[in-house]
Amino acid sequence: MTAMPKFTRRSFLVSSAALGGGLALGLRLPPFGPGVVRAADGSPEITVWVAIRPDNTTLIRAVRAEMGQGTITGLGQLIAEELDCDWSKVEIEYPTPGQSVARKRAWGDFSTGGSRGVRQSNEYVRKGGAAARMMLVQAAANEWKVPASECTTSASVITHKPSGRRTTYGKVAEAAARLEQPKDVPLKDPKTWKIAGKPLKRLDTAKKVNGTMVYGMDLKMPGMLNAAIKDCPVFGGKVKSFDAARVSGMRGVKKVVQVGDSGVAVIADTWWNAKTALEQLPIVWDEGENAKVSSASIAEILKAGLDAEQAFVGNQAGGDVKTALADAAKRIEAVYAYPYQNHACMEPMNATVRYTPERCELWGPTQNGEGTFAQVLEASGLAADKVDVHNVMLGGGFGRRGTYPDDYVRQAVLIAKQMPGTPVKMIWSREEDMAHGKYHPVMQCKLVGGLDASGNLAALHMRLSGQSILASVRPEVVQAQKGRDPLSFQGVFESGEHSFSYTVPNLLIDHAMRNTHVPPGFWRGVNINQNALFIECFMDELAEAAGQDALEFRRKLMAKHPRNLGVLNAVAERIGWSRPAPSGVYRGLAHLHCFDSFVAAACEISVKDGNKVKVHRIVAATDPGYAVNPAQIERQVAGSFVYGLSALFFQECTVKDGRIEQTNFHQYNSMRIAQMPKVETILMPTGGTVWGGIGEPTICVAAPAVLNAFYRATGKRIRSVPLKNHGIELV
Amino acid sequence: MRLTINGKSHEVDVDPTTPLLWVIREQVGLTGTKYGCGIAQCGACTVHMNGLPVRSCSIPVSAASGAKITTIEGLASGKTLHKVQKAWIDHDVPQCGYCQSGMIMAVAALLRTNPKPSDADIDAAITNICRCGTFQQVREAIHAAAKAA
């Protein structure tokens, strides 16, 4: 169904006019006449988002990465909706970053993280579809010599109502491609949507059930070799020496190469032979000072930050916390902690690169084509017109395949540079993937709440102490904020897409930044995972101290947060909060505002022998403003709980001698089907001007809901993750 | 060494300790069977050996010589999809899809020995890891496939 990149470079044929101001990428001039830009198969491009084949198939362009979240289908629906095309004849085509650069970034942002895929490109892709429809109609009207306003469209057919004449998009596409793109492009009212907003099937399923979907791991090219790599297990360490002669005679081995300062790779005919030789290769590391770091030493540093003088303020919505806490009738205090976690994408990191001094191309899974393009540019040392990146289907992303310094993309280029002309596929073993993640940042949190004599929350101080992702990945953002990492406050921030959803008279939320040598990354949900857990578990602690129902206590603080209240009420009603739970069953709930969506969860659990937790049911409500594909949203919500609850129960990356201790799934478990709760999704989009994200938001509400239920079941308040460290099992 | 995969015979020249997975992927060239962990934890590499589900990452190719091996590419009968593949499409199961070859092979093997599995049977037999978290649809699709003839 979809046109996944082939292994030859797919060239767009670009008009001479389009080439004028951009970078010439060796693209061919159009043989079909002036002014028309053409897709790989020669079909005329109407707008950058739409090309139409003569057989009336619509080629929809996508540059956001598909990693299972359904964004390609969703964006396709939005374009098809405005285009009024035949959904059964839609195919997806993937322009490359090089092609986009050559056309002055015609396709905009490629980055696919922060649950932004649909919400931040919806307007311009819809306009791309709508403009194409207007041009196709105009082309038909010109041919018929009638006003365009007398023509209607449906399923790729144009009809002139007064005369009954009909034609297809495919027939007028050549003429439409020659028209000027309209500037004033009205969009449909979402209430009238027929393709968008519907629970349509994904476009890319067929190849995923018969083994033909090509992931980066599966790429094949003539003459291709394979590389296995080992980077210094201590982050920041270097290669001191390695004895290539010891393995150079082993089966299939072609070359042993150093990769940058810190890595060594074996290149062989097959990856298995490369990996086998790499395991035999003697390597001496200069591990450096970081080899002294351990989880305990990191925890000490974070602990000191809980009471440090200096901290960056993320939310000070009013009042004077210090005085109000001192004056409180009752003061409640708790310290929580969240560990390092690896994304553990099912497909380990990999990339295939072919380098010559004239051209360097990378094929592989990336959540950010343009970011990868920039990294290939830098690592290859070639000019922008000599570089390109071909994205393939990702075997999971979850934030791991974003753009990070010193990561797999750079390695793959540095390896290929040492085998000019030969495509080399570099694959990380699972062990390498566990050792060189971009980890969920480690965080501790001290919460202090003050209740007045009537049990109202009068003051709250939430002090975060731990690692900043942006200080490592986007230091310029942190610099611009005078050292503060605004992302640290996701879900509890003063304003915006991650604003705090309670009104507390005296409030302070601040962050003592404590960075370590362990590289942090954006891990599905990013900082909402710990922030939701901290604040929503503590809200239950406060409610109990106040002698109030957890739901009622929250509601009193949410009068100014109607959409959060909306989702919270929805899950409370569906779970039956006002009625007693069945015997032996205990409930918990949580909610947050994040990625511009409003999310809540309520769960029912039972606990056997004090430590065997069965999560029977989770009700999850989401208000994302607009719902582009309800069926895919349901799948994202249910899937987010697998990721989030695996993290809650099982997952921690511990540091010993400067390196990560866990090497594979036997020490870093992930939920199986037997442990999967029944998930009931309530989708309640309330419109408005802002579109919310889907891939991440709900991930964060399952863990605090389950912890709150666990307390009701056992009387034990668990304040650190994962639960396996407390002897608690998921059954 | 001679291997029979999806009804075809293949002569491969490899170290006999090479895991079956890597021979299937790199010598035979069938890449639908996936590498996930290499230690039989995740199940992404599940194939059928003489009709039984095995984790091919942890079986030396020498142990597979002479056996009848079926991979995801050989599950359908010609152009007719296996009922599990059909159910997977009907229920829109895969997200990223990387684990689904192994998941489908594990389910197809389960249904062969247990045509109408209960939820408990599914829980006991299907232990594949899916990081996207498709389990709710996997369960629905297994029951649907079991109902299909």
pLDDT digits (tens, 9 = 90+) for A624-682: 999 999 999 999 999 999 999 999 999 999 999 999 999 999 999 999 999 999 999 99
SS3 at position A286? strand
* Cβ distance of B85 and A676 shorter than 8 Å: no
Could you tell me which chain B residue has the CA closest to the CA of A218? B31
Q: Tell me the two tokens of residue A75.
A: 């964006």
**Residues of chain B with C-beta less than 8 angstroms from the C-beta of A345:** 98, 131
Looking at the DSSP assignment, which residues form a beta bridge with residue A187? none
Indicate the DSSP class of residue A88. G
pLDDT tens-digit series, residues A333-363:
999 999 999 999 999 999 999 999 999 999 9
For residue A33, pLDDT over 60 is answered with: no
Both A486 and A366 in one domain: the answer is no
User: Would residue A208 count as lying in a domain?
Assistant: no
pLDDT tens-digit series, residues A4-32:
333 222 233 222 223 323 333 333 334 44
Q: Which amino acid is at A367?
A: Q
SS3 at position A203? coil
Q: State the smallest CA–CA distance between residue B66 and chain A in angstroms.
A: 22
Taking residues A579-597, what's their average pLDDT? Answer: 97
**Residues of chain A with C-beta less than 8 angstroms from the C-beta of B19:** 272
Q: Quote the CA–CA distance of B53 and B43 in Å, as a whole number.
A: 10
pLDDT above 90 coverage of chain B, percent: 99
User: Would residue A390 count as lying in a domain?
Assistant: yes
**Per-residue pLDDT, A451:** 98
* Cβ distance of B34 and A346 shorter than 8 Å: yes
**Residues of chain B with C-beta less than 8 angstroms from the C-beta of A208:** 88, 94, 97, 100
SS3 at position A44? strand
For residue B146, pLDDT over 50 is answered with: yes
Both A325 and A360 in one domain: the answer is no
Q: Quote the CA–CA distance of A195 and A340 in Å, as a whole number.
A: 41
For residue A2, pLDDT over 50 is answered with: no
Q: Tell me the two tokens of residue A637.
A: 């919500």
Indicate the DSSP class of residue A180. P
pLDDT tens-digit series, residues A247-300:
999 999 999 999 999 999 999 999 999 999 999 999 999 999 999 999 999 999
**Per-residue pLDDT, A34:** 52
Residue reference for tokens 């404590």: A514
Both A596 and A473 in one domain: the answer is yes
B-contacting residues in A 269-308 (Cβ below 8 Å)? 270-272, 276
Would an 8 Å CB–CB cutoff place A676 in contact with chain B? yes
Q: State the smallest CA–CA distance between residue B27 and chain A in angstroms.
A: 8
Give the torsion sign (CA, A198, A200, A204, A208). Answer: positive
Residue A447 backbone phi and psi in degrees, to 5: -115, 130
Q: State the smallest CA–CA distance between residue A69 and chain B in angstroms.
A: 6
* Cβ distance of B133 and A641 shorter than 8 Å: yes
* Cβ distance of A673 and B139 shorter than 8 Å: yes
Cis omega before residue A722 (within 30°)? Answer: yes
Strand-by-strand arrangement of the A457-466 sheet: A312-318, A506-513, A457-466, A443-451, A330-338
**A270, A638, A641 ranked by CB distance to B22: nearest:** A270
Q: State the smallest CA–CA distance between residue A386 and chain B in angstroms.
A: 30
* Domain limit, last residue, from A173, A203, A233: A203
Q: Quote the CA–CA distance of A603 and A584 in Å, as a whole number.
A: 13
User: Would residue A357 count as lying in a domain?
Assistant: yes
Would an 8 Å CB–CB cutoff place A209 in contact with chain B? yes
**Residues of chain A with C-beta less than 8 angstroms from the C-beta of B100:** 208-209
- Output the CA angle A663-A665-A668, nearest 5 degrees: 80
Both A610 and A633 in one domain: the answer is yes
Closest CA to A176 of A17, A44, A31, A42: A44
* pLDDT band with cut points at 50, 70 and 90 for residue A120: confident
Both A417 and A481 in one domain: the answer is no
Compute CA distances A297 → A301, A303, A304, A656, A658, whole Å: 7, 10, 11, 10, 10
Q: Quote the CA–CA distance of A153 and A671 in Å, as a whole number.
A: 48
The string of DSSP codes covering A214-274 is -BGGG---TT-EEEEEEE-SSTT-EEEEE-GGGTTTSTTEEEEEEETTTEEEEEESSHHHH
Q: Tell me the two tokens of residue A700.
A: 């964060």
Q: Tell me the two tokens of residue A476.
A: 């310029």
The HSE-up count of residue A223 (CA atoms within 13 Å, CB side) is 8
**Per-residue pLDDT, A11:** 30
Pick from A10-24, A430-444, A571-585, B65-79: least confident: A10-24
* pLDDT band with cut points at 50, 70 and 90 for residue A115: confident
CATH of residue A680: 3.30.365.10
Would an 8 Å CB–CB cutoff place A648 in contact with chain B? no
* Cβ distance of A204 and B126 shorter than 8 Å: no
**Residues of chain B with C-beta less than 8 angstroms from the C-beta of A397:** 96
Q: Quote the CA–CA distance of A534 and A461 in Å, as a whole number.
A: 12
Please report the ipTM that was assigned to this predicted complex: 0.98
**Residues of chain B with C-beta less than 8 angstroms from the C-beta of A202:** 92, 94
User: Would residue A2 count as lying in a domain?
Assistant: no
* Domain limit, last residue, from A180, A203, A226: A203
**Per-residue pLDDT, A682:** 98
The CATH code for residues B2-74 is: 3.10.20.30
* Cβ distance of A643 and B75 shorter than 8 Å: no
* Cβ distance of A217 and B35 shorter than 8 Å: yes
For residue B47, pLDDT over 70 is answered with: yes
Indicate the DSSP class of residue A499. B
Burial, A31: exposed, middle or buried (Cβ in 10 Å; 0-12, 13-18, 19+)?
Answer: exposed
Q: Quote the CA–CA distance of B87 and B85 in Å, as a whole number.
A: 5
For residue A721, pLDDT over 90 is answered with: yes
Could you tell me which chain B residue has the CA closest to the CA of A207? B97
Q: Which CATH number fits domain B83-147: 3.40.50.970, 3.40.109.10, 1.10.150.120, 3.60.20.10?
A: 1.10.150.120
Asked if A430 contacts B38 with a C-beta cutoff of 8 angstroms, the reply is yes
Closest CA to B107 of B66, B57, B73, B142: B142
Could you tell me which chain A residue has the CA closest to the CA of B31? A218
User: Would residue A433 count as lying in a domain?
Assistant: no
* Integer Rg of chain A from CA: 27
**Per-residue pLDDT, A14:** 28
- Rounded mean pLDDT of chain A? 94
Burial, A244: exposed, middle or buried (Cβ in 10 Å; 0-12, 13-18, 19+)?
Answer: middle
**Residues of chain A with C-beta less than 8 angstroms from the C-beta of B71:** 211
Q: Quote the CA–CA distance of B70 and B74 in Å, as a whole number.
A: 6
User: Would residue A11 count as lying in a domain?
Assistant: no
Q: Quote the CA–CA distance of A424 and A410 in Å, as a whole number.
A: 13
* Cβ distance of B136 and A638 shorter than 8 Å: yes
Pick from A7-21, A74-88, A94-108: least confident: A7-21
Asked if A369 contacts A391 with a C-beta cutoff of 8 angstroms, the reply is yes
**Residues of chain A with C-beta less than 8 angstroms from the C-beta of B135:** 638, 642, 671-673, 676
**Per-residue pLDDT, B135:** 98
User: Would residue A5 count as lying in a domain?
Assistant: no
Both A465 and A614 in one domain: the answer is yes
HEC string of A71-122 equals HHHHHHHHHHHHHCCCHHHEEEECCCHHHHHHCCCCCCCCCCCCCCCCCCCH
Q: Tell me the two tokens of residue A341.
A: 């976690």
User: Would residue A423 count as lying in a domain?
Assistant: yes
To test the contact with chain B by mutation, choose from A72, A204, A210 the residue with the greatest count of B C-beta atoms within 10 A, namely A210
**Per-residue pLDDT, A319:** 87
* Cβ distance of B129 and A670 shorter than 8 Å: yes
* Domain limit, last residue, from A427, A460, A475: A427
When divided into structural domains, chain A yields a total of 3
Both A556 and A463 in one domain: the answer is yes
Looking at the DSSP assignment, which residues form a beta bridge with residue A352? A363, A425
Strand-pair category, A506-513 with A457-466: parallel
* Cβ distance of B96 and A640 shorter than 8 Å: no
pLDDT above 70 coverage of chain A, percent: 95
Both A109 and A197 in one domain: the answer is yes
* Cβ distance of B31 and A218 shorter than 8 Å: yes
Q: Quote the CA–CA distance of B87 and B83 in Å, as a whole number.
A: 6
**Residues of chain A with C-beta less than 8 angstroms from the C-beta of B92:** 201-202, 205, 631, 635
Centre a 10 Å sphere on the Cβ of residue A91 and count the other Cβ atoms it contains.
16
Taking residues B27-33, what's their average pLDDT? Answer: 98
Taking residues B63-77, what's their average pLDDT? Answer: 97
Both A162 and A61 in one domain: the answer is yes
**B96, B134, B136 ranked by CB distance to A67: nearest:** B96
Q: Quote the CA–CA distance of A41 and A103 in Å, as a whole number.
A: 19
pLDDT tens-digit series, residues A40-71:
889 999 999 999 999 999 999 999 999 999 99
Would an 8 Å CB–CB cutoff place A204 in contact with chain B? yes
Residue reference for tokens 């993320």: A314
Q: Quote the CA–CA distance of B43 and B57 in Å, as a whole number.
A: 9
Q: Can you point out the beta strands (E) in A668-728?
A: 678-683
**A211, A345, A398 ranked by CB distance to B73: nearest:** A211
Residue A178: domain span: 16-203
For residue B56, pLDDT over 90 is answered with: yes
Indicate the DSSP class of residue A522. -
Q: Tell me the two tokens of residue A329.
A: 């009738």
Question: Containing H/E element for A567?
Answer: helix A562-575
Looking at the DSSP assignment, which residues form a beta bridge with residue A283? A242
pLDDT tens-digit series, residues A397-436:
999 999 998 999 999 999 999 999 999 999 999 999 999 9
* Cβ distance of B36 and A430 shorter than 8 Å: yes
pLDDT tens-digit series, residues A305-315:
999 999 999 99
Could you tell me which chain B residue has the CA closest to the CA of A346? B36
Instruction: Locate the domains of chain B by residue range.
Output: 2-74, 83-147
Q: State the smallest CA–CA distance between residue B83 and chain A in angstroms.
A: 11
SS3 at position A138? helix
Q: Tell me the two tokens of residue A525.
A: 């949900």
Would an 8 Å CB–CB cutoff place A250 in contact with chain B? no
